[in-house]
Amino acid sequence: MTRLAIVYNQPLAAGHARYDSSADVLVQVEAVAASLVNLGHTPVRIPFTLDLAAFLKAVQRAQTELVFNLCESVDEDPQLGGHPAAVLELRGLPYTGSRPLALMLSTDKLLSKRVLMASGIDTPNCLVYDGTAPFAGQGLTFPVLVKPRFEDASIGIDQESVFVDPGRLSASIQDIYRQ
């Protein structure tokens, strides 16, 4: 039986306001583990946190041939989502998924947009709000979609993220920024 590691971001503690979205990774871990067992492999679950020494010890103890990288963040910071792949790569461990640079680029919506535009791919106009200046919706054509710069997939985006009225957005922007 081949031992295969499943590396994942450690979810928030149960009871935390964002526990449900954070713990979704555990559903994915169990689905991958079940599939590996069905294929005759032995899955080894290893959480990735900022405690790099503990992670490296766990990986070494596991003695696996391949790592399924399910990390989307580290300690709930999506900007660190590419770091687990970088650590695996530096250690010479084969892993599934994208390389660190691709993960970092795809997590930063503004940087992704700039790469697309530099490649000649049209994208809608955007504005990055830094929380310091009054917001007047300058340069934007409404309706607009307000989303976090550093989040994976659709995290932080729902029906309330669509604004058709510049005044409503102007009144809401500080609260959105603080979230």
The reported pLDDT for the residue numbered 91 is: 95
Give the start-to-end residue ranges of the domains of the chain: 3-106, 109-178
Decide: residue 130, CB within 10 A, 0-12 exposed, 13-18 middle, 19+ buried: exposed
Output Rg (C-alpha) for the chain, integer angstroms: 20
Distance of CA 21 to the CA centre of its chain: 12
Does position 70 have pLDDT exceeding 90, yes or no?
yes
The reported pLDDT for the residue numbered 78 is: 87
Distance of CA 17 to the CA centre of its chain: 18
Report the range of poorest mean pLDDT among 6-20, 70-84, 128-142: 128-142
Residues in a beta bridge with 42: 3
Burial 153-178 (b: 16+ CB within 10 A, else e): eeebeeeeeebeeeeebeeebeebee
* pTM as predicted: 0.81
pLDDT digits (tens, 9 = 90+) for 120-178: 999 988 888 888 877 777 778 889 888 888 877 777 788 888 888 888 888 778 877 77
Domain 3-106 bears CATH identifier 3.40.50.20: yes
Tokens found for residue 131: 């929380």
What residues have CB less than 8 Å from 136, skipping those under 6 apart? 166, 170
User: Hey, which bits of 122-166 come out as E strands?
Assistant: 144-145, 162-163
Does position 52 have pLDDT exceeding 80, yes or no?
yes
What percentage of the chain exceeds 70 in pLDDT? 98
Does position 62 have pLDDT exceeding 80, yes or no?
yes
The reported pLDDT for the residue numbered 15 is: 81
Q: Where residue 87 falls among pLDDT bands split at 50, 70, 90?
A: very high
What percentage of the chain exceeds 90 in pLDDT? 51
The reported pLDDT for the residue numbered 126 is: 83
